[in-house]
Amino acid sequence: MKHNNQRKLNTGISVDCVIFGFDLEELKVLLIQRKTTNNALDSRFSLPGDLIYNDETLDEAAIRVLKELTGLENIYLEQLGAFSALDRLSKAEDKVWLESIREQPNERVITIAYFALVNLNSFHPSPANFATSVSWQPLKNVTSLAFDHHEIFEGAHQQLKTKLQTQPIGFNLLPAKFTLSQLHKLYEAIVGKELDKRNFRRKMIKLEIVKKLDEKQIGVPHKPSNFYEFNLKNYQKLLKEGFDNFGF
């Protein structure tokens, strides 16, 4: 890859990141767009990603990519797995783009994928490097991505749904204060189906990971709901030890 930095890139290994956010209504994923060879904006979206440097670990590379391409740092980040299909970079439009930025565009690249969870309203991502545009896209609108990124995206979404059953990682997508209705809507958005509201609330309270605050919503067109926050001590314990299947 053409790069002004003196550090040497490993042209055979990359990292790609699936970044999820929640706007209190629907689940979204952060995607980038790149410039085409004629300097126009590519109509297709991609996951934030890049080759790794030979002097950094995979985790360090993922953290760097998030910072360089989106401005995000200090967020929940977990390795998803490796993607090594022989044809993962074989799409014609992707080959053209690779030829414009890499010295060896036809070299095989294995990517290590990560997924991240962020409070969408706490970050203001901005494009950098070859990312010309960066935006939050609803999951329902993600139908086609560059390279094999749609496969990576679907794998990350499934991993998120699976982990949610045994660990309270969804709280990373919420602001510090939230209502139980917002928490309920988040879980429904992640698993993609309706969850019985009364049963959901009962389970959350039984896990003792939410704490009711002496504070309610203001300026809402309906009866104000109480705010809650997660119980940090129990949250950290369950995040480490997990709990029995939540029952999705």
For residue 224, give the DSSP letter: P
**Least confident piece of the model among 57-66, 140-149, 214-223:** 214-223
**Ordered DSSP codes for 145-199:** BSTTHHHHHHHHHHHHHHHHTTS-GGGGGS-SSB-HHHHHHHHHHHHTS---HHH
pLDDT of residue 169 exceeding 80? yes
Helix (H) or strand (E) holding 27: strand 27-34
Instruction: Give the residue with greater pLDDT, 35 vs 81.
Output: 81
pLDDT surpasses 80 at 36: no
Q: What percent of the chain has pLDDT over 70?
A: 89
Cβ–Cβ under 8 Å, residues 33 and 133: yes
Mean pLDDT of 64-72: 82
Q: What share of the chain is helix, strand, coil (3-state, %, to 5)?
A: 35, 30, 40
Query: 209 with 150: CB under 8 angstroms?
Result: no
- Comparing 12 with 123, which gets the higher pLDDT? 12
pLDDT score recorded for residue 42: 66
Q: Provide the pLDDT for residue 3.
A: 46
Say if CB 100 and CB 37 are below 8 A apart.
yes
CA torsion 141-146-149-153 (nearest 10°) is: -10
Which pLDDT band, with edges at 50, 70 and 90, does 191 fall under? very high
The stretch 64-90 carries a mean pLDDT of 87
Confidence of residue 179 (pLDDT cuts 50, 70, 90): very high
222: confidence class by pLDDT, cuts 50, 70, 90: confident
pLDDT at 72 over 70: yes
Q: Are the C-beta atoms of residues 131 and 69 closer than 8 Å to each other? A: yes
pLDDT band of residue 129 (cuts 50, 70, 90) is low
At 109, which amino acid appears?
A: V
**Average pLDDT estimate for 49-54:** 92
Interacting residues of 232 by C-beta distance below 8 A, sequence separation 6+: none
In order of their start, the domains of the chain are 9-164 (3.90.79.10), 169-241 (1.10.10.10)
Coil vs helix vs strand at 109: coil
How high is the mean pLDDT of the chain? 86
Asked if pLDDT for residue 100 goes beyond 70, the answer is no
| pLDDT at position 70 over 50 | yes
Overall average pLDDT of the 110-114 stretch: 96
Q: At what angle do helices 149-164 and 180-191 cross, to 10 degrees?
A: 130
Most confident of the ranges 78-82, 100-104, 144-148, 240-244: 78-82
- 175-187 burial, b for 16+ CB within 10 Å, e for fewer? eeebbbebbbbbb
Query: Which two tokens mark 138?
Result: 């609803």
Residue 116 and residue 66 in contact, taking contact as beta carbons nearer than 8 Å: yes
- Side-chain-side CA neighbours of residue 210 (13 Å): 24
